[in-house]
């Protein structure tokens, strides 16, 4: 700077600017520029060409944001209100004021890393027993014959409500499985790698017998107890329920060959989780998947082209493709292929007895809407060795029992999604205020919550009743006949309702429900899968009509079940009479109306259960809204006369 030039306030006062900010950040009382100007702490200028005062010690104050410093510098140049003051004085005074303001604000930010207080946000729904406050579940478990398992159910419910388990569910979905076709040396391995949280979820599921407890301990009520556990644990995360369900459903198929069951059932029902691939006989615990459908046929499995060539006795070599292979990381698979005498069921091990990999090639993993934690694959079989299960040409009849058990799990899984969606909505509404009152006390929101609770309870009651039918079917012909159509109609209806309910529950949370930090988006994406897998809506509806035509005992068992509620509610009696009339329609009209018939059968069955076993407020609202038509098409349209408070109170999650 030339000695004759007028003084530049910026060059002269930069040390004052920075020192004032530093002092303010440190909590000093900045009284006057002169006091600061004589201090020893000076910051380097934040830009080239701006020098500190001559002779001052230079130190870089890294804790001062450049934006903050320049804000003060800018403020230092603000015009003074008094023209008589010197050029430097107003700038210095402005520096002090601004430094005090910025310093105090930044001290607060540094102190608590927050710019405001978070208020009117619900606490996380965690640290609770998922089963404890589910009255519909606990009542049903006792009613359907599994009261002996309540302690174990509460133990699992406590794990399900823990922070750790909830975190596993989020992490397993944020880190989906990865296909590894080759190792680093170029050897074909066809493995699927999972996040550690997936394995934690699987460990708990296997330890609590979700994959095989009813087959290992066949006491009365075993399938009810297992359905309840599946329902509770799936509320943490649904994707890993797939290998649990496949393995559970594989056992009755294997039992068609006593030698296979004796050889493999102990590992498939063990409480040990061993994910590493190895020969089945060398494993303490194993899992089973399924590969039925092909790209050209889908649910029409009789159109399958995968062929099976006799190799050695009951061993065949399978060649072909599968469009959907469920749980491709499993130790074995039930597969359909065309043998010389027609479509046949086979048990295909992943690793052969000598330790070599069977010729199963994973082409790719499906990029799915939901169910992201779980792997579903397209596979190729290249002379893969498999053991025949059942007679040649009887593949569908052999594997259908597996399908019936997986369909039961579709009901349980969808009911689980519905319960967790309602729980999240009710918890949010209980802790959130809007327009001067808690959301759950506002009449319209209470109607929505009551409607969600009603749907959830009806699904839970039906799930447990179907599990009891499966439990008793081997020893009771009527229960077996009821299970034959009951599982199909439950699979159709409950799985159809889940996407609607999860969407409405998400809306209860508003914008908070639409972001991924909430579990609501995951529940919503997961909801359609159970309606699609194991036979879509049309497949289930037509399957049920065929059962009614071919097995009259099934309809008789259904009518006997629902008629147990006759005389308790006039609306129910009217609905049952109308349903029986519709079942007398001729064949062509009946097929076109299959969905209407199945929907009505499901509603009448749910109503029968609620009229007999649920509190009056629940049964009354269900009959009014679902049978008598005294409600709209959306949730939250229950008749005003319903006891909404009682319905919601019964369903509170915690």
For 504-561, write each residue's pLDDT tens digit: 999 999 999 999 999 999 999 999 999 999 989 999 999 999 999 999 999 999 999 9
Burial class (CB in 10 A: 0-12, 13-18, 19+), 366: middle
Residues 239 and 371: beta-carbon distance below 8 Å: yes
Q: How many CB atoms are located within 10 Å of the residue 491 CB?
A: 32
Is pLDDT larger for residue 283 or for residue 13? 283
What distance in Å separates the CA atoms of residue 322 and residue 112, rounded to the nearest whole number? 56
What distance in Å separates the CA atoms of residue 167 and residue 200, rounded to the nearest whole number? 11
Query: Lowest-confidence range among 105-119, 156-170, 541-555, 617-631?
Result: 105-119
Helix (H, G, I), strand (E, B) or coil at 385: strand
pLDDT at 11 over 50: no
What distance in Å separates the CA atoms of residue 651 and residue 138, rounded to the nearest whole number? 12
Which region holds residue 338: left if phi is over 0, alpha if psi is between -120 and 50, else beta?
A: beta
E strands within 194-255? none
Structure-block tokens of residue 621: 């609202």
Prediction pTM value: 0.84
Q: How many CB atoms are located within 10 Å of the residue 653 CB?
A: 21
Q: 402-421 burial, b if ≥16 CB within 10 A, otherwise e?
A: bbbbbbbbbbbbbbbbbbbb
Find residue 351's DSSP bridge partners. 357
Cα-Cα-Cα-Cα torsion 371, 373, 377, 383, nearest 10 degrees, comes to: -130
What distance in Å separates the CA atoms of residue 389 and residue 294, rounded to the nearest whole number? 20
> What is the pLDDT at residue 596?
94
pLDDT at 260 over 80: yes
For 83-111, write each residue's pLDDT tens digit: 444 444 444 444 444 444 444 555 454 45
Q: What is the CATH number of domain 401-651?
A: 1.20.140.10
What distance in Å separates the CA atoms of residue 543 and residue 546, rounded to the nearest whole number? 5
> What is the pLDDT at residue 345?
97
Same fold for the pair 135-393 and 401-651: no
Is pLDDT larger for residue 173 or for residue 299? 173
Residues 459 and 418: beta-carbon distance below 8 Å: yes
> What is the pLDDT at residue 34?
44
Going by CATH, does the domain composed of 135-393 fall within 2.40.110.20?
yes
Phi and psi of 567, rounded to 5°? 90, -10
For 435-488, write each residue's pLDDT tens digit: 999 999 999 999 999 999 999 999 999 999 999 999 999 999 999 999 999 999
> What is the pLDDT at residue 654?
77
Q: End-to-end CA distance of the chain, in Å?
A: 73
DSSP state of 637: -
Q: Are strands 342-349 and 376-389 parallel, antiparallel or unpaired?
A: antiparallel
Count of residues making up the chain: 654
**Which residues have C-beta within 8 Å of that of residue 561, sequence separation ≥ 6?**
482, 486, 605, 608
What are the domain boundaries of the chain? 9-112, 135-393, 401-651
**Which residues have C-beta within 8 Å of that of residue 174, sequence separation ≥ 6?**
195
Mean pLDDT of all residues in 566-580: 97
Q: 276-314 burial, b if ≥16 CB within 10 A, otherwise e?
A: ebebbeebebbbbbbbbbbeeeeeeeeebebebeeeeee
In Å, how far are 562, 611, 632, 643 from 573, measured between CA atoms?
10, 11, 22, 22
Phi and psi of 587, rounded to 5°? -55, -50
């Amino acid at each position: 700077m030339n000695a004759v030039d007028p003084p530049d306030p910026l060059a002269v006062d930069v040390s004052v600017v920075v020192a004032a900010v530093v002092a303010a950040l440190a909590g000093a009382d900045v009284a006057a520029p002169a006091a600061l100007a004589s201090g020893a702490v000076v910051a380097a200028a934040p830009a080239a060409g701006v020098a500190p005062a001559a002779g001052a010690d230079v130190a870089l104050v890294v804790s001062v944001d450049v934006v903050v410093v320049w804000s003060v510098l800018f403020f230092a140049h603000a015009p003074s209100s008094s023209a008589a003051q010197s050029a430097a004085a107003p700038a210095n005074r402005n520096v002090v004021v601004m430094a005090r303001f910025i310093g105090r604000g930044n001290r607060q930010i540094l102190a608590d890393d927050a710019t405001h207080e978070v208020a009117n946000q619900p606490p996380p729904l965690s640290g609770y027993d998922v089963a404890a406050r589910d009255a519909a579940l606990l009542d049903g478990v006792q009613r359907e014959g599994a009261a002996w398992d309540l302690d174990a159910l509460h133990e699992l419910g406590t794990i399900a409500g823990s922070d750790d388990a909830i975190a596993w569910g989020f992490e397993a979905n944020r880190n989906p499985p990865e296909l590894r076709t080759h190792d680093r040396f170029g050897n074909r391995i066809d493995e699927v790698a999972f996040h550690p949280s997936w394995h934690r979820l699987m460990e708990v599921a296997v330890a609590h017998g979700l994959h095989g407890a009813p087959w290992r301990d066949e006491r009365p009520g075993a399938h009810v107890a297992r359905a309840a556990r599946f329902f509770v644990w799936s509320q943490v995360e649904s994707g890993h329920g797939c290998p649990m369900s496949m393995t559970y459903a594989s056992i009755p198929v294997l039992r068609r060959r006593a030698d296979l069951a004796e050889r493999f059932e102990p590992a498939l029902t063990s409480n040990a989780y061993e994910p590493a691939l190895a020969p089945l006989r060398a494993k303490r615990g194993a899992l089973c998947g399924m590969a039925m459908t092909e790209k050209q046929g889908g649910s029409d499995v009789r159109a399958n082209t995968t062929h099976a060539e006799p190799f050695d006795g009951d061993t065949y070599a399978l060649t072909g493709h599968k469009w959907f292979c469920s749980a491709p990381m499993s130790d074995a698979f039930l597969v359909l292929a065309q043998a010389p005498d027609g479509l046949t069921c086979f048990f295909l091990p992943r690793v052969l007895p000598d330790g070599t990999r069977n010729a199963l090639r994973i082409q790719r993993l499906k990029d799915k809407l939901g169910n992201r934690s779980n792997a579903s694959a397209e596979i190729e079989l290249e002379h893969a060795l498999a053991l025949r299960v059942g007679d040649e040409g009887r593949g569908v009849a052999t594997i259908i029992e597996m399908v019936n058990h997986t369909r039961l799990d579709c009901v349980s899984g969808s009911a689980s999604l519905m319960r967790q969606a309602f729980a999240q909505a009710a918890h949010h509404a209980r802790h959130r205020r809007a327009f001067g009152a808690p959301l759950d006390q506002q009449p319209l929101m209470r109607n929505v919550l009551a409607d969600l609770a009603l749907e959830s309870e009806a699904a839970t009651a039906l799930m447990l009743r179907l599990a009891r039918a499966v439990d008793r079917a081997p020893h009771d012909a009527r229960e077996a006949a009821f299970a034959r159509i009951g599982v199909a109609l439950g699979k159709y209806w409950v799985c159809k309702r889940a996407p609607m309910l999860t969407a409405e529950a998400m809306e209860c949370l508003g914008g908070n429900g639409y972001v991924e930090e909430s579990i609501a988006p995951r529940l919503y994406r997961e909801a359609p899968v159970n309606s699609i897998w194991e036979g879509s809506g049309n497949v289930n509806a037509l399957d049920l009509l065929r059962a009614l035509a071919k097995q009259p005992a099934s309809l008789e068992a259904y009518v006997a079940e629902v008629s147990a509620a006759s005389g308790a509610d006039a609306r129910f009696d009217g609905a049952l009479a109308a349903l029986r009339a519709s079942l007398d329609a001729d064949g062509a009209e009946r097929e076109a109306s299959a969905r209407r018939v199945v929907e009505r059968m499901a509603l009448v069955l749910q109503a029968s259960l609620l009229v007999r076993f649920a509190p009056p407020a629940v049964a009354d609202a269900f009959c009014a809204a679902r049978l008598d038509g005294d409600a709209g098409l959306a949730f939250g349209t229950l008749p005003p006369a319903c006891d909404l408070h009682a319905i919601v109170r019964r369903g509170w999650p915690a």
